[in-house]
């Protein structure tokens, strides 16, 4: 099961981040008490914080932000737990395992990986604003991100409707490990996870049957790894290559449908049978991409941080989609027509 509660965690983090420019007003260290700070980078570009302050080399907690963070985080977590115990986890029994990799043709596992990675990033950025050092913010942020997804998997294990899914947990762990590696290994920073979501009707496709909300409509999701080509090229070639241009490799499954439920009315002309209870169309995509940190101009501290964070989402671009059928797009995933030629 793709953890339904993740949307609450993500929205909570966005609220906290948007409030930090106000919460940290007056919390800056004065010149007399300022502790040693340093700057970091992501591959060949600067690493931005929310408020633009330097990152502490040692942890020095800021009272107001940490109280707001802990209080809000705990409150939202408790309220969400109470709500989910009376909804998706209301039918409880003994702990059990249930592997569900095939029901979404494994595209949901990329969501677990990306969700843990992005939550860890947002949490670590918040902790930096609370006064934690770079190392402690990343360590705690990764553990909080993984801890949340593990909590969801365990409660799934006690639900009669679900079960602890090993492949979900492995994807969660992989997302946390990648986050930690991304924070400290310069070479790994050349490979950035990205996510794309558009309602399937926008590109002449169909939502997953069944699906109740955007987070479980896997037919609308595309997950990417964007490669920083410029930073990987030899110096003799690098100067001729646009620094902002990248290549992304994506995976998606369109038109997912459960044929065992007659209400779904799966269309064999749209979805191909893959398993006896899952129809769909696998897509592997190679696309041009842009690094928004390099492409967009620098501005205020929050703007610099915003474009850095926006860079974890994929924008439409020219792409080659390999599947049935294989086709080229000028602006993936949207089909365009120029005369009699369809792109």
pLDDT in tens, 97-149: 999 888 899 999 999 999 999 999 999 999 999 999 999 999 999 999 999 99
Taking the C-alpha atoms of residue 201 and residue 217, their distance in angstroms, rounded to an integer, is 12
What average pLDDT does this structure show over 194-199?
97
* Residue 229 in tokens: 């080509």
Max mean pLDDT range (18-32, 210-224, 305-319): 305-319
Is 204:335 a contact under the CB 8 Å cutoff?
A: yes
* Residue corresponding to tokens 């964007």: 226
Q: Give the torsion through C-alpha atoms of 52, 55, 59, 60, to 10 deg.
A: -40
Taking the C-alpha atoms of residue 26 and residue 325, their distance in angstroms, rounded to an integer, is 58
pLDDT of residue 16: 53
Residue-wise pLDDT for 223-267, tens only, equals 999 999 999 999 999 999 999 999 999 999 999 999 999 889 898
Q: CB neighbours of 191 closer than 8 A, spacing ≥ 6? A: 225, 226, 227, 228
Q: CB neighbours of 44 closer than 8 A, spacing ≥ 6? A: 228, 230, 231, 243
What average pLDDT does this structure show over 79-86?
86
| pLDDT confidence tier of residue 340, bands split at 50, 70 and 90 | confident
Return the sign of the alpha-carbon dihedral for residues 231, 233, 234, 236: negative
Return the sign of the alpha-carbon dihedral for residues 138, 139, 141, 142: positive
pLDDT at residue 338 greater than cutoff 50: yes
Helix (H) / strand (E) containing 223? strand 221-227
* Residue 227 in tokens: 């490669």
3-state SS track over 18-35: HHHHHHCCCCCCCCCCCC
Q: CB neighbours of 111 closer than 8 A, spacing ≥ 6? A: 2, 171, 218, 221, 223
Residue in 52, 47, 44 with CA at minimum distance from that of residue 303: 52
pLDDT at residue 197 greater than cutoff 90: yes
Q: CB neighbours of 329 closer than 8 A, spacing ≥ 6? A: 318, 319, 320, 321, 335, 336, 343
Question: ω before 210 within 30° of 0 (cis)?
Answer: yes
> Over the chain, what is the mean pLDDT?
88
Task: Write the DSSP symbol of residue 172.
Answer: H
Taking the C-alpha atoms of residue 44 and residue 239, their distance in angstroms, rounded to an integer, is 14
Q: What is the pTM of this model?
A: 0.91
Helix (H) / strand (E) containing 73? helix 63-85
Percentage above 90 pLDDT, the chain: 69
Percentage above 70 pLDDT, the chain: 89
Taking the C-alpha atoms of residue 320 and residue 326, their distance in angstroms, rounded to an integer, is 7
* Residue 63 in tokens: 């009272």
pLDDT at residue 213 greater than cutoff 90: no
* Residue corresponding to tokens 């709500």: 83
């Amino acid at each position: 099961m793709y953890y339904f509660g993740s949307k609450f965690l993500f929205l909570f983090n966005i609220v906290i981040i948007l409030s930090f420019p106000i919460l940290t007003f007056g919390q800056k260290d004065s010149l007399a008490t300022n502790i040693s700070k340093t700057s970091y980078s992501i591959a060949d570009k600067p690493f931005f914080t929310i408020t633009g302050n330097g990152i502490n080399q040692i942890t020095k907690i800021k009272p107001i932000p940490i109280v707001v963070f802990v209080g809000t985080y705990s409150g939202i977590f408790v309220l969400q737990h109470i709500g989910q115990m009376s909804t998706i986890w209301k039918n409880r029994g003994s702990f059990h395992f249930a592997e569900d990799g095939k029901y979404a043709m494994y595209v949901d596992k990329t969501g677990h990986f990306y969700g843990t990675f992005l939550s860890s990033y947002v949490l670590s950025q918040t902790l930096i604003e609370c006064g934690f050092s770079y190392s402690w913010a990343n360590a705690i942020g990764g553990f909080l991100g993984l801890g949340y997804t593990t909590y969801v998997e365990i409660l799934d294990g006690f639900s009669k409707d679900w079960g602890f899914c090993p492949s979900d947990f492995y994807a969660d762990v992989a997302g946390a490990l990648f986050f930690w590696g991304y924070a400290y290994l310069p070479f790994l920073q050349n490979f950035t996870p990205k996510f794309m979501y558009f309602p399937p009707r926008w590109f002449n496709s169909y939502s997953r049957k069944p699906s109740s909300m955007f987070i479980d409509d896997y037919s609308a999701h595309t997950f990417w790894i964007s490669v920083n080509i410029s930073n990987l090229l030899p110096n003799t070639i690098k100067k001729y290559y646009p620094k902002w241009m990248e290549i992304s490799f994506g995976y998606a499954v369109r038109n997912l449908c459960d044929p065992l439920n007659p209400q779904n009315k799966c269309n064999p002309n749209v979805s191909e049978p893959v398993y006896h209870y899952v129809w769909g169309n696998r897509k592997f995509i190679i696309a041009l991409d842009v690094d928004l940190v390099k492409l967009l101009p620098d501005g205020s501290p929050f703007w610099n941080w915003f474009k850095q964070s926006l860079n974890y989402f994929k924008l439409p671009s020219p792409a080659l989609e390999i599947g049935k059928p294989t086709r080229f797009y000028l602006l993936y995933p949207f089909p365009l027509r120029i005369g009699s030629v369809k792109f």
